Amino acid sequence: MARKGKVTVVGAGFYGSTTAQRLAEYDIVETVVLTDIIEGRPEGLALDMNQSRPIEGFETTVVGQTTGTDGSGYEAIAGSDVVVITAGLPRKPGMSRMDLIETNASIVRSVAESVARHAPDAVVIVVSNPLDEMTALAQIATGFPKHRVLGQAGLLDTARFTNSVAERLCVPVGSVTTLTLGSHGDTMVPVPSRCSVDGKPLGDLLPPTDVDELVERTRNGGAEIVALLKTGSAYYAPSAAAARMARAVMEDAGAVMPVCAWVDGEYGISGVYLGVEAEIGLVGVRRVVETDLTDSERAALEAAAEAVRAKQADVQHL
């Protein structure tokens, strides 16, 4: 099997290390680079992952690299086709994602500048929170074309919605289709009109109050896990989403998935990073794909755009 290319994951915490592991286990790229500012952590995790290769049967090599906040060590990411930025603090119980904005903005800005210097042709996938704002900041700090910087949120939120519907109706997750758009926060827009089970509209299977409950649980999906864990936030489903996005880029798949992408006229919305469906390939976002929405879903998407637009304007100064 031909393995090709290099993917870097910046940040070797829970999210980053599981993303690196998933990417390595796909066995489709030559090298996965894992970096962190904690001395020895990425090297130790990389060695551990490489030792799992004979058992799991993959040949992708994981390279660990400690980096400095001064940009030292970033030579290791040279030639990366994709860089996934997971560096930053996760939420604590009771915190909103927005409470992380100042601390994570300074981390994401310095990481993005180093990425631009050492991997100038990479597609950048941002996961650090608050997601929509950190994606906008990474684009500003790298100076990359907007289609080459995107964020991970919608694939995860959609998976959470799908899982809740499957659990509620006691059906396989594979029979459920759902969709969320909008922001990765309070103005997330679950789209019930695009939800179905074995092709039957969700609204025909559940009363509106039950659908509303599932929508609310999706919107609070991250907080529900933060409250249970007490320290740290979710990473199994989030890393699955980021790894899938990186894979779609590496395979030039043309897969359509919900991501945080630059919106330029679609849905009548312009000039903002927002959760929408997009076709993903080697260039990053090939195009934003518009879907039919009800009037209220469309209004919610417009409200989400205005909420994140204001915050994204603020991050330029952070």
Ligand X SMILES: NC(=O)c1ccc[n+]([C@@H]2O[C@H](COP(=O)([O-])OP(=O)(O)OC[C@H]3O[C@@H](n4cnc5c(N)ncnc54)[C@H](O)[C@@H]3O)[C@@H](O)[C@H]2O)c1
Structure tokens at 247: 């894979």
Mark residues 85-124: x for contact with ligand X by CB under 6 A, - for none. Answer: -xxxxxx--------x---x--x--xx-------------
Residue 162 token pair: 């799908």
Which of 9, 13, 119, 279 binds ligand X (CB under 6 A)? It is 13
Nearer to ligand X, 11 or 192 (CB): 11
| Given 8, 152, 158, 164, the residue binding ligand X (CB under 6 A) | 152
Query: Segment contacting ligand X (CB under 6 A): 44-52, 82-90, 136-144, 245-253?
Result: 82-90
Please answer whether residues 222 and 185 qualify as being in contact, where contact means their C-beta atoms are separated by less than 8 angstroms.
no
What is the C-alpha to C-alpha distance for residues 190 and 186, in angstroms, rounded to an integer? 11
Q: Two tokens at 304? A: 């989400």
Judged by CB under 6 A, the number of residues near ligand X is: 37
Inter-CA distances, 78 with 42, 63, 82, 88, 121, Å: 17, 12, 11, 22, 9
**Phi and psi angles of residue 35, each rounded to the nearest 5 degrees, phi first:** -125, 160
CB of 24 vs ligand X, minimal distance in Å:
17
37 makes contact with ligand X (CB under 6 A): yes
Bridge partners, 287 (sequence order): 279
Choose the binding region for ligand X from 43-51, 228-236, 261-269, 276-284 (rule: CB under 6 A). Answer: 228-236
Interface stretch with ligand X, choices 34-42, 53-61, 169-177, 279-287 (CB under 6 A): 34-42
Q: Is 21 in the site for ligand X (CB under 6 A)?
A: no
| Interface pattern 162-201 for ligand X (x via CB under 6 A) | ----------------------x-----------------
Binding map of ligand X across residues 231-250, x = CB under 6 A, - = no contact = -xxxx--x------------
Q: What are phi and psi of 123, to 5 degrees?
A: -90, 130
Smallest gap from residue 114 Cβ to ligand X (A): 8
Q: Provide the annotated active-site residues.
A: 184
Binding mask 245-284 for ligand X (x = CB under 6 A): ----------------------------------------
CB 79 within 8 A of CB 56: no
The amino acid sitting at 189 is V
> Which of 11, 185, 192, 281 touches ligand X by CB under 6 A?
11
What's the min distance (Å) between Cβ of 305 and ligand X?
A: 18
Residue nearest ligand X by beta-carbon distance:
13
> Per DSSP, what are the bridge partners of residue 66?
36
Nearer to ligand X, 107 or 278 (CB): 107
Nearer to ligand X, 89 or 205 (CB): 89
218 contacts ligand X (rule: CB under 6 A): no
Token pair recorded at residue 308: 């994140």
Q: According to the binding rule CB under 6 A, does residue 65 interact with ligand X?
A: no
Farthest CA pair distance, the chain:
57
Instruction: State the residues that interact with ligand X by CB under 6 A.
Output: 10-16, 35-38, 67, 69, 86-91, 100, 104, 107, 110-111, 127-129, 131, 152-153, 156, 184, 232-235, 238
